[in-house]
Amino acid sequence: MIKLMVVDDEHWIREGLKRTIDWSSHGIQFIGDAEDGCKALELIEAHVPEMIISDIKMPTMDGMDLLEEIKKRGYDTKVIFISGFSDFAYAQKAVKLGAFDYILKPVEEPILLEIIERCISEIKQKQELNSRLQELAVRIRESLPLARQKHLEMCLTRSLTEREMKSAWEALHINLDPKRLIVMTMVVHEWGGREMDESGCSLMRYALGNLVEEVLSQKGIRCSACPLQGNDFADVALIASLSEQEASSGVEDLYRHMDSVIKDALQVLDVRISIGISGLRERTQLASSFREALTTSMNYLIHGPGQVHTAPMDGRSAGRGSISRATEQLDYRMAACMGQWAADVLLTDHKADFLDSALSNRILHAMKLMDAGRLSELLDVQTGLLQELIKQTPAIAVRYEMNMHISILLSKWQELLQAKDHSKVSAITHQRKLQLYRCSIGDWKTMIMDTFLMKDTDAPSIAHKRTIETALRYIHDNYHLGISLHNVAEKIYMNPSYFSRVFHEEVGETLSRYLIRIRITKAKELLEQTPLKVYEVADRVGYRDFRHFVKTFKEWEGMTPAQYRNYGA
C-alpha cells in the first residue's frame, strides 16, 4: 500500500482528513500526522511516505521549507499543498519546488480524491518503472560475466580490429592491459576419483578458471578465464595481462605461479592438469597467442601431464611444436575448424603408418574378441609409431590424429554396445572419453586397454591384490609427506586413473578418503598423547596448509582439533 501522512497546524483539519476518507479502500495506509514541518521530518525519517498532504502556512517550519528539505534529503515523496490563500505566487513557488498539486481550503472531498487518484497513478507508474529498471540491472549484472566470456572467446578465435576490441572491452569492463597479454591453456588429464557427467565436467572447468583467477589475483596479476566447452584439445583458456615490470622479468614468475596452480588443482580440486603459455602480445593478436598456447601445451604428449610448457615471451614460436607462417594466419573457429587447423599442420608423409587401415582393423578386431594379448602387441606397435611421429610433426597435429583414431574406436565400440551378443561390453562415460582425448603417448596403451578391454570384475586378479598391498604399505609409510593419488600411482607404475578405480574396488573407498582417514586417526593420537601445537600436528600428518587441516578435521570429527584435545579425547 502507498503510505500517506498529513501535516497541518490545525488539529481539526488533520483529524478531518484522517477520518473523512476511507484511505484503505484507495490502497493507502495512513501512517500519521504532524503539526509542523519539523515534526513531519521526524515521521518522514521513520516511515518514508510516498505521499504527503500539507498546509503551507505553519509555525516553526512551513510547507514550502518542508518540501525544500524533502527534496534536499533525496526522498521521492509527492506533496499536495492545501492553503487558505488564493495567492498565485504561492502556487507558482510550490510548483517550482516540485509540489504535485495545490488545493484551496475548504477542501472538497471529490476534488481531493481526484488529485489523490492522479498522484497514486503516477506513484505506481514510477514504482513499476523502478522495478523494471532494477530487474534490468540484475539481468545486466548476471549476463555481464557471460557476455565478457563470450567476447573473450571470440577474441581467441577470430581476428578483430583494435577499434572493435576497444569499444567491446570498455562496455564489458574487461580490465586487462591491451598491450601486454599472455594466453594460457589448461588441459585436464584426470578428473579425480569421482565420476562426472558432461555437466559436472563443465562445472569443473569453471572451478579451474576461478582457481587461476584467484591465485594470480593474489600475485597482483589480472586474469580472465574462458572455460572451453566441447573442445577436443583444451579445457580452459586464460588471458592474463602483465605489468611493464612483470613483462620485463620474463616468463619465470608466471611459470612459477602456474606451477603452483597445477599443485593447487591437484590438492583442492583433485584434478591433474597441464598448462601451455604463449608469448607476450597485444590484444589484436590474441588468436595467434591462443594457437601458440594450445600448441605449447601439447608437449604433454611427450613429457606427460602435470607440467607447465612455455613459448618465448617475445611471441615468436620456436622448436618442434611451432606453427608455420601460413597456419598462423588461419582464421579458424573454436570447435568446427579447430580440427582442420590441426590437420593442416600435420605432414601427411609422416602419418601414413599410424593411420594404416590394416593396423586399425587388427586393433578393432582384437577389441571385439576381447583378446588382451593381441591388443597389447598391436598397441605397442602403435605407440612406437606415435613416438616416431612426434619427432617429425607438431604435437598439436599428432594430438589431432590420436583423437581421430579414438573417435573411430568409440564409434565401433558403440556398435558393439548395441549388439546383444556382447554382454560384457559396457558404455564408456563422458569423463573417460575426455581422458582418452587428453592422454599422453606414454599412457596411450594403458588408456586404450583400460577403456576398451573389459575384465572379469567378479574375480579380481592376484596381481591387483598385490599391487594394492604395495600401495597400502607405501601410504602408511609416507602419509606424513603430503602424498597424493598421483604419487602413489607413480610409485607402483600404474596409470593414476586406472589405479584409482582398482583401489576403490579392492579397498572399498577412494584413495583420497583413505588417506584422510589415516591422517585424522594419527592426528587424534598426537592430540591425545603429545603437547604438540595444532599446526605442528598438521605438519606431522601431511597437511602443509594449517587451515585445510582444521577444516578437514572438523568435517571428519565434528569439532576442531583444539576442541578435540580439550573435550573430545
What is the DSSP secondary structure assignment for residue 284, as one 8-state letter? G
Phi and psi at 251, nearest 5°, equal -85, -10
Phi and psi at 107, nearest 5°, equal -80, 125
Q: Which of 569, 390, 540 is closest to 479 using CA atoms?
A: 540
Domain with 32 in it: 2-107
Does residue 120 lie within any of the structural domains?
no
Per-residue pLDDT, 143 = 66
| Residue 220 region by backbone torsions, left for phi larger than 0, else alpha for psi between -120 and 50, else beta | left
* One domain, residues 422 and 472: no
Per-residue pLDDT, 362 = 87
Does residue 409 lie within any of the structural domains?
yes
Per-residue pLDDT, 322 = 34
* One domain, residues 214 and 314: yes
Q: Which of 165, 285, 323, 175 is closest to 241 using CA atoms?
A: 175
The CATH number that applies at residue 198 is 3.30.70.270
Q: Render pLDDT for 363-417 as a digit per residue (tens, 0 to 9).
A: 888 887 777 888 888 999 999 999 988 888 888 889 988 998 898 888 888 887 7
Buried b (16+ CB within 10 A) or exposed e, 250-283: ebeebeebbeebbebbbeebbbbbbbbbbbbbeb
Cis peptide before 106 (omega within 30 of 0): yes
* One domain, residues 404 and 551: no
* One domain, residues 466 and 547: yes
Q: How many distinct structural domains can be found in the chain?
A: 4
Per-residue pLDDT, 319 = 34
**Whole-Å CA distances, 216 to 9, 181, 257, 383:** 65, 14, 7, 38
The CATH number that applies at residue 22 is 3.40.50.2300
Identify the helix (H) or strand (E) that includes residue 38: helix 37-47
C-alpha cell of residue 554: 572438523
Domain-ending residue, one of 77, 107, 137: 107
**Whole-Å CA distances, 400 to 276, 380, 451:** 17, 20, 19
H-assigned helices in 219-352: 244-248, 252-264, 286-297, 300-303, 325-328, 338-344, 348-351
* One domain, residues 387 and 495: no
Does residue 116 lie within any of the structural domains?
no
The bridge status of strand 236-241 relative to strand 222-227 is antiparallel
Give the integer Cα–Cα distance in Å for 126 and 120: 10
Q: Render pLDDT for 420-450 as a digit per residue (tens, 0 to 9).
A: 555 555 678 888 888 899 999 988 888 888 8
Predicted TM-score (pTM) of the model is 0.57
* One domain, residues 239 and 163: yes
Buried b (16+ CB within 10 A) or exposed e, 329-350: ebebebeeebeebbbbbbeeeb
Based on its alpha-carbon atoms, the radius of gyration of the chain, rounded to whole angstroms, reads 36
Does residue 338 lie within any of the structural domains?
no
C-alpha cell of residue 248: 620485463
H-assigned helices in 172-271: 198-218, 244-248, 252-264
* Low pLDDT (below 70) residues in the chain: 85-88, 91, 136-137, 140-143, 193-194, 246-251, 312-356, 419-426, 454-464, 466, 493, 495, 568-569
Does residue 336 lie within any of the structural domains?
no
Does residue 52 lie within any of the structural domains?
yes
* One domain, residues 190 and 241: yes
Does residue 501 lie within any of the structural domains?
yes
Does residue 56 lie within any of the structural domains?
yes
* One domain, residues 448 and 466: no
* One domain, residues 440 and 469: no
Give the integer Cα–Cα distance in Å for 384 and 382: 5
* One domain, residues 313 and 205: yes
Q: Which of 482, 476, 477, 472 is closest to 540 using CA atoms?
A: 482
Domain-ending residue, one of 83, 107, 131: 107
* One domain, residues 365 and 387: yes
* One domain, residues 469 and 436: no
The CATH number that applies at residue 525 is 1.10.10.60
